[in-house]
Amino acid sequence: MEKDREKALARLVGKAIADHRLGAAMTQDDLAERLACGVEAVSRMERGAIMPTLSKLIETAEALGCPAYELLGISDLPSDQALSIARQLEGLSSNDREMLLSLIDTLSTRLKRQ
């Protein structure tokens, strides 16, 4: 993998870690304690300065209570994006889900015509 692509991936993974940490109402100190590492290591991962190893990525996902694949950054695969939409629909009322699906359908139809 070329260096620019590696750096971009490290930033995406770092952002995903930070987003999940904040969503779990954890501080960097909290995550560092769960990972048995220093706060600086967590900070460097979140900034994309370092890329966690696969085993550290899995350990981080477990500490954050999410699947490891969610920390791998944004995917451009339609099936991955569909899973993301499905997670966003969870917890919404039936009416709200229908409204969002209608909006997605309308936007999708319009964008296909362009």
What is the per-residue pLDDT across 39-96, written as a single tens digit (0 to 9) for each? 999 999 999 999 999 999 999 999 999 989 889 866 667 887 888 788 888 889 999 9
pLDDT score recorded for residue 76: 66
pLDDT score recorded for residue 20: 95
- pLDDT tens for 91-108 read 899 999 999 999 999 999
Please give the structure tokens belonging to residue 89.
């629909």
> Please, what is the average pLDDT of the chain?
91
pLDDT at 33 over 70: yes
Calculate mean pLDDT across residues 5-29: 94
Query: Looking at residue 74, what DSSP letter applies?
Result: -
pLDDT score recorded for residue 86: 87
User: How many Cβ atoms from other residues are within 10 Å of residue 93's Cβ?
Assistant: 8
pLDDT score recorded for residue 1: 53
pLDDT at 111 over 90: yes
Using DSSP, state whether 1 is helix, strand or coil: coil
Burial group, residue 71, by CB count within 10 angstroms (0-12, 13-18, 19+): buried
